[in-house]
Chains A and B, each alone.
Chain A
Amino acid sequence: MNAAQQKPRVDLQVIAQMVTHGARVLDVGCGDGQLLQLLAQQRGVDGRGVELSQRGVNECVAKGLSVIQGDADADLIDYPDDGFDYVILSQTLQATRQPREALENMLRIGRRAIVSFPNFGHWRVRAQLAFRGRMPVTGNLAYSWHDTPNIHLCTIRDFVELVEQLGAHIERGVALDRAGAPIRVNAPWWVWNMMGEQAVFLLARDVPASRSAQRKTEPA
């Protein structure tokens, strides 16, 4: 789905840091396999991928990655419960038809889910709509309204609300600014939602005992 993107994505490195060594990982929307390769090299994971574009799948398999053609909407349903330690949806959530079902499936298949997505609440996005009266086109959201695959855009705050509705738990959240640098962890949510151009969340199915160690700030 993101096979066309040329530059290595900042969020991939952030995701890699969230994955434990030797884990079983399913990367949904794995594109040309950049993240799976990174995870194999840096984390020694047992990785699998699902990719919508045939070109992406072929490139992955030719690289020796285990990837099947499919998508988050149609194919996650076929995976058994607890098959993976991590299910990753990297910059793909906004392109799914049913993001809520996709997330539910991810949390069913994997003990943990990692989701990265472009933040529609970023100030540039807001500014384009508010002051120019135009659908936003930014570096992260590079498509015109009529040809975009991104049909379910959300803000960081929207996403956090959905996670709560699903009864899942945010173990870690990282918002990245325009330069790709993480925003201060102790910044309030409204800063994340305004300044984060993209966000990466590590989700767990249920609430662990050590929740006190996590952020307790409510979304602004």
Chain B
Amino acid sequence: MSNSLQDRQSGASFSAAGSSLAEGKPCGKTLVFPADQPLLTDGGGRISPLTIGYETFGELNAERSNAILLCHALTGDQYAAGVHPVTGKPGWWEAMVGPGKPFDTDRYFLICSNVVGGCMGTTGPASVNAATGKPYGLDFPVVTIRDMVRAQAMLIDHLGIDTLFCVAGGSMGGMQVLQWAASYPDRVFSAMPIATAAKHSAQNIGFNEVGRQAVMADPDWRGGRYHDFGVRPEKGLAVARMSAHITYLSEAALQRKFGRKLQDRSAPTFSFDADFQIENYLRYQGVAFVERFDANSYLFVTRACDYFDLAADYGGSLALAFKDTKTRFCVVSFTSDWLYPTSDSRAIVHALNAGGASVSFVEIESDKGHDAFLLHEEMFFATTRGFLESAATARGLKGKGA
């Protein structure tokens, strides 16, 4: 492996923090794979040149054995921690990543890259197609979760890391974790698929389709060529986000936070203003989202999730995907997550057991819905710490300061 790694490294160009992309978005580290190192996609597409935007946190140890790959969810990005350069807000896993936190940056070297098809530095539909000199738009190949993982593996090769100590992520990130464990079992020492599923359900696909249709129904979408016209389908994308956002929360959380409370008024206005706080909240979420996300990217990443069915790649048997794996797994679900319910996680656990894998499974009691994995949940933190600690011992990783 080391030889091919060298080849890849010598061919890839690397730019340090502070560089920016064609679409003008600020980003941290980027890595460009030239034309002779294309990403060949499951759908028969070819992405070249391929740029990967990524961030790292903490230090890689001398043995290169303490690297953890964090896989982001649908609309996440490489900014798992620290201040997000576009929104100015904390990273999406700020609760989990940092000094002394469960993903302890004093101890582990954390890598997080923007998925292929995304819009925060990695090549996606908003990137310029070298063949036309214009943004790809719908000419971008439809990518899969496995394509995302392939691109991540190219990055990990470039960083000179043979085996990842852990691959962790929630939701779509959890799908990538499962795909990593199935595609590269020898390169994944431990894996944490969180609030996720081994395949998208009809309900999942249905919600995604609503979002895509909202984008496509916006006249400013212009068949995906909105970049050429200097417009953006902001309304459609905002509606997509609003409907998706509801699926990330639980009924109990919505009730507790908003109930039927009115927004800055004492009585209904008998109009279609945002009378209710929940309406105002969702509108805000929609508007905030379009500031940072590309509408076509939303189509592509939701599609990647829909196509995900890990068992299908192994003759319909999920257990075969993990047969004789040495990877240590910790599967986590949350009680009030109805988007990726505990039954989805349990199916993964059953397959891992049938494959003889080392697996822990914890269902965390939370009323915060699917988004619970991004929030402060003590039991989830304790689980992550315990799991990583035992994996670190098994891997022979020295403790902090040792």
A binds B: yes
Q: Chain A's nearest CB lies how many Å from the CB of B193?
A: 13
| A83 partner residues in chain B, CB cutoff 8 A | 356
Instruction: Please tell me which stretch of B121-129, B135-143, B222-230, B359-367 contacts chain A, meaning at least 4 of its Cβ atoms lie within 8 angstroms of it.
Output: B359-367
Q: Is residue B385 contacting chain A, with contact meaning CB distance below 8 A?
A: yes
Q: Is residue A79 contacting chain B, with contact meaning CB distance below 8 A?
A: yes
CB-contacts of B68-125 with A (<8 A): none
Q: Is residue A28 contacting chain B, with contact meaning CB distance below 8 A?
A: no
A69 contacts B382, CB within 8 Å?
Answer: no
- Of B350, B360, B365, the residue contacting A78 (CB under 8 A) is B350
A64 contacts B353, CB within 8 Å?
Answer: no
Q: Chain A's nearest CB lies how many Å from the CB of B218?
A: 44
Q: Is residue A68 contacting chain B, with contact meaning CB distance below 8 A?
A: yes
| A54 partner residues in chain B, CB cutoff 8 A | 362-363, 365
| A58 partner residues in chain B, CB cutoff 8 A | 362, 364, 379, 382-383
Give A20 to B216 CA distance when docked, in angstroms.
64
| B328 partner residues in chain A, CB cutoff 8 A | 66
- Of A46, A62, A78, A80, the residue contacting B386 (CB under 8 A) is A62
Given A62-B385, A66-B328, are A78 and B354 neighbors across the interface (CB < 8 Å)?
yes
Chain A 50-67: CB-based contact to B (< 8 A → 1; otherwise 0): 000010011011111111
A66 contacts B356, CB within 8 Å?
Answer: no
Chain B 354-385: CB-based contact to A (< 8 A → 1; otherwise 0): 11101111111100000000000001001101
Given A58-B379, A68-B360, A78-B353, are A63 and B386 neighbors across the interface (CB < 8 Å)?
yes
B393 contacts A64, CB within 8 Å?
Answer: yes
Q: Is residue A48 contacting chain B, with contact meaning CB distance below 8 A?
A: yes
Q: Is residue B389 contacting chain A, with contact meaning CB distance below 8 A?
A: yes
Which of B359, B360, B364, B365 has most A Cβ within 10 Å? B360
| A68 partner residues in chain B, CB cutoff 8 A | 331, 349, 353, 359-361
Q: Chain A's nearest CB lies how many Å from the CB of B165?
A: 15
Q: Is residue B330 contacting chain A, with contact meaning CB distance below 8 A?
A: yes
| B356 partner residues in chain A, CB cutoff 8 A | 80, 83
Number of residues on chain A facing chain B (CB within 8 A) = 21
Nearest residue, chain B, Cβ from A76: B353
CB-contacts of A57-106 with B (<8 A): 57-58, 60-70, 75, 78-80, 83
Given A58-B379, A78-B350, A80-B356, are A65 and B390 neighbors across the interface (CB < 8 Å)?
yes
Nearest residue, chain B, Cβ from A84: B356
Q: Is residue B387 contacting chain A, with contact meaning CB distance below 8 A?
A: yes
Q: Chain B's nearest CB lies how many Å from the CB of A13?
A: 23
B386 contacts A79, CB within 8 Å?
Answer: no
B354 contacts A61, CB within 8 Å?
Answer: no
Given A54-B365, A58-B382, are A65 and B354 neighbors across the interface (CB < 8 Å)?
no
| B331 partner residues in chain A, CB cutoff 8 A | 68
Give A75 to B383 CA distance when docked, in angstroms.
22
Give A46 to B354 CA distance when docked, in angstroms.
17
| A80 partner residues in chain B, CB cutoff 8 A | 353-356
- Of A46, A48, A64, the residue contacting B387 (CB under 8 A) is A64
Nearest residue, chain A, Cβ from B332: A61
| B350 partner residues in chain A, CB cutoff 8 A | 75, 78
Give A63 to B356 CA distance when docked, in angstroms.
21
Q: Chain A's nearest CB lies how many Å from the CB of B107?
A: 15
Give A60 to B383 CA distance when docked, in angstroms.
9
- Of B359, B365, B379, B382, the residue contacting A66 (CB under 8 A) is B359
Q: A54-B365, A62-B383 are in contact. List 16 more A-B contacts (CB 8 A).
A: A58-B364, A60-B360, A61-B360, A61-B387, A62-B386, A63-B390, A66-B328, A66-B359, A68-B353, A68-B361, A75-B350, A78-B350, A78-B354, A79-B354, A80-B353, A80-B354
16 interchain pairs, CB-CB under 8 A: A46-B358, A54-B365, A57-B361, A58-B364, A61-B360, A62-B382, A64-B387, A64-B389, A66-B328, A67-B361, A68-B349, A68-B361, A75-B353, A79-B353, A80-B354, A83-B356
Report which A residues bind B (CB closer than 8 A): 46, 48, 54, 57-58, 60-70, 75, 78-80, 83
